Amino acid sequence: MNGPSADLRSAGRLALTRIAPRDRTPNMPLPAATIDGPSASRDSSAPAIEAQALTRVVSLGDRSLTILEDVSLTVAAGSTQAIVGASGSGKTTLLGLLAGLDRPDRGTVRWFGETVSSLSEDELARRRQGAVGFVFQSFQLLPALTALENVMLPLDLAGVRDARERAAAWLERVGLSARLEHLPKQLSGGEQQRVAIARAFVSNPRIVFADEPTGNLDTDTGAEIVELMFRLNREQGTTLVLVTHDPDLAGRCAAVIRLARGRIVVGAGA
């Protein structure tokens, strides 16, 4: 077998298009889908992320609600950034904008010097390939695919030939080489989270966004996941942007911003 069957692949595509945050973004970004995707406009000396004056407004019936306001943020390439704040403060909203899963109503997002927030859906999807991986707040594995197939999927959809070998190598790296053929429901929460992390990293992205990567894990498993992500940051130079409620995890990051009611709280630290 060379990967998920055609049926599973199309089911996977369909299901992945449904992983959009809330009801937006018809053209769902995969966790990074190719390896080392070409991008002529990459500037290796530029920050990984520059967000300027991001504002996000949603409409609720006849009125609009500003859920993120005037948020600016710069993350150096190869650095680690934590986003903290109370539930409902806008962390997931901000992460979605930074990752190009959602679009700001005002403001701009740049990756490595290139403005991505104004690109068309197709162009944005191309930029994301090989550049961005995403670990969702709830793992978002496809239930009908095995652990191996879930990790293979972004590579498979991008036509990468040795998808199976690469995916298996990543599952081994996250300590799951004995679980390749397990379905998500046959895996513990921590194991599913590790599959999600393998899927985010398998394409060797330059930036990984993770939304509460330890939120559903017990302390020991959470610590293992954190070690793994920081090891990948050190070894691969992957820029990490983490949303977390865990002060210890935030404290390990090079920089921390705190949100309150959709705004950055200046000088509040972690």
Ligand X SMILES: Nc1ncnc2c1ncn2[C@@H]1O[C@H](COP(=O)(O)OP(=O)(O)OP(=O)(O)O)[C@@H](O)[C@H]1O
Q: Which partner from the list ligand X, Mg ion, none does 87 bind, CB cut-off 5 to 8 Å by kind?
A: ligand X
- In whole angstroms, how close is the CB of 38 to ligand X at the nearest point? 33
Binders of ligand X among 186-225, rule CB under 6 A? none
| CA 254 – CA 248 distance, rounded (Å) | 12
- In whole angstroms, how close is the CB of 49 to ligand X at the nearest point? 17
Residue 184 DSSP class:
G
- Nearer to ligand X among residue 51 and residue 152 (C-beta): 51
Beta-carbon contacts of 130 under 8 Å, excluding residues fewer than 6 positions away, are 32, 33, 34, 35, 36, 37, 203, 204, 205, 206
Backbone angles phi, psi at 59, to 5 degrees: -100, 135
| CA 48 – CA 183 distance, rounded (Å) | 35
Binders of ligand X among 53-92, rule CB under 6 A? 58, 60, 67, 85, 87-92
Phi and psi based region of residue 231 (left: phi greater than 0; alpha: psi -120 to 50; beta: remaining): alpha
Residue numbers of the site for Mg ion (CB under 5 A)?
92
> How many other C-beta atoms lie within 10 A of the C-beta of residue 52?
17
- In whole angstroms, how close is the CB of 76 to ligand X at the nearest point? 24
**Rg, Å, the chain Cα set:** 18
- Nearer to ligand X among residue 92 and residue 140 (C-beta): 92
Contact flags string 15-54 toward ligand X, x per CB under 6 A: -------x--------------------------------
- Nearer to ligand X among residue 77 and residue 259 (C-beta): 259
**Minimal CB distance residue for Mg ion:** 92
Residues at the contact surface with ligand X, assessed by CB under 6 A = 22, 58, 60, 67, 85, 87-93
